[in-house]
């Protein structure tokens, strides 16, 4: 860790709560620290790991802290490169400003003296070559909901994993649709009333997205995201093994 903790690291608003030093945590609106210890393997020593859609980098730094030999964190260069629902694209691009992926990640990376490699790519362009080789463990958190084609995105990550490789997939799930259709995969198309979301799956749909892409998913956890206000949604976390 570098000596001085820049004031800017603690004063600005963050998406992720990240421990930058003992007693110094970024003021993130989303705190994944408690759930990470429940859903991530304790150690990932020697493995090549991938965090897709890293944003401030919480999952990437958590993979590094668990001993992964090499961690790649992918994200878009610009917010407006996302496949936001078409009618919201212009408004989202205008509002991006401070929220551009990369700025806070760079700061945390520097303060943590991290070796995580940042690769600019949309999930749809991910492949092993682009990542410098296949990976053994991947995380995708709260990203499939932003994709028009969640299974297509998962397929790309499936192809980038080594045989037997594992994916931790964490997404918000609809409680009403899970209770009403426990055995049927259904998803709410949210484009009519959210700015950035395509889908909110029920529990079965999250599982079946993973199965359809070629994974063998095992439910790891259902939890409420530790987050501010409306972001505190119910989530499911699956460990999905590449078949």
Ligand X SMILES: C[S@@+](CC[C@H](N)C(=O)[O-])C[C@H]1O[C@@H](n2cnc3c(N)ncnc32)[C@H](O)[C@@H]1O
- Where on the chain is the footprint of ligand X (CB under 6 A)? 30, 53-55, 58-59, 75-76, 82-83, 101, 122-123, 141-143, 146-147
CB of 145 to ligand X, least distance (A): 8
Cβ 159 vs Cβ 128: under 8 Å: yes
Name the residue among 178, 182, 236 with its Cα closest to residue 210. Answer: 236
Name the minimum Å distance from CB 188 to ligand X: 17
Tokens for 18?
């990240």
CA gyration radius, the chain: 17
CB of 7 to ligand X, least distance (A): 24
Of 156 and 242, nearer to ligand X (C-beta) is 156
Q: Of the two residues 55 and 137, which places its CB atom closer to ligand X in the complex? A: 55
Instruction: Pick the closer one to ligand X by CB: 83 or 212.
Output: 83
Task: Pick between residue 130 and residue 181 the one whose CB is nearest to ligand X.
Answer: 130
Rounded to the nearest 5 degrees, what angle is found at the Cα of 97, between the Cα atoms of 194 and 156? 60
Cα separation, 128 vs 172, in Å, equals 27
CB of 146 to ligand X, least distance (A): 4
**CB of 151: closest distance to ligand X in angstroms?**
14
Provide the H-helix boundaries in 3-50.
Answer: 7-11, 33-39
For the bound state, the minimum distance from the C-beta of residue 55 to ligand X, rounded and expressed in Å, comes to 3
Token readout for 185 is: 């995969």
Q: Which residue is nearest to ligand X (CB)?
A: 141
Instruction: Give dist(CA 44, CA 49) in Å, integer.
Output: 8
- Judged by beta carbon, residue 72 or residue 76, the one nearer ligand X is 76
Tell me how far apart the alpha carbons of residues 203 and 42 are, in angstroms, rounded to a whole number: 25
Opening angle at CA 100, ends 112 and 64, nearest 5: 25
Nearer to ligand X, 141 or 217 (CB): 141
């Amino acid at each position: 860790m570098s000596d001085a903790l820049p004031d800017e690291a603690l004063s600005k608003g963050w998406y992720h709560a990240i421990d930058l030093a003992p007693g110094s945590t970024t003021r993130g609106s989303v705190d994944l620290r408690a759930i990470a210890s429940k859903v991530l393997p304790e150690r990932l020593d020697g493995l090549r790991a991938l965090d897709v859609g890293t944003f401030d980098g919480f999952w990437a730094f958590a993979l590094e802290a668990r001993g992964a030999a090499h961690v790649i964190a992918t994200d878009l260069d610009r917010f407006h490169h996302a496949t936001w629902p078409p009618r919201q694209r212009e408004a989202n691009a205008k509002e991006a400003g401070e929220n551009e992926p990369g700025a806070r990640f760079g700061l945390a990376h520097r303060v943590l003296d991290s070796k995580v490699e940042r690769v600019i790519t949309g999930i749809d362009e991910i492949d092993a070559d682009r990542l410098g080789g296949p990976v053994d463990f991947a995380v995708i958190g709260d990203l499939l909901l932003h994709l028009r084609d969640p299974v297509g995105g998962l397929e790309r990550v499936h192809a980038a994993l080594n045989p037997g490789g594992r994916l931790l997939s964490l997404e918000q799930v609809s409680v009403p649709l899970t209770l009403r259709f426990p055995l049927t995969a259904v998803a709410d198309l949210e484009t009519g009333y959210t700015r950035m979301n395509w889908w909110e799956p029920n529990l079965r749909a999250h599982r079946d997205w993973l199965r359809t892409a070629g994974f063998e998913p095992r439910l790891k956890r259902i939890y409420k995201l530790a987050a501010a206000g409306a972001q505190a949604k119910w989530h499911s976390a699956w460990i999905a093994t590449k078949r």
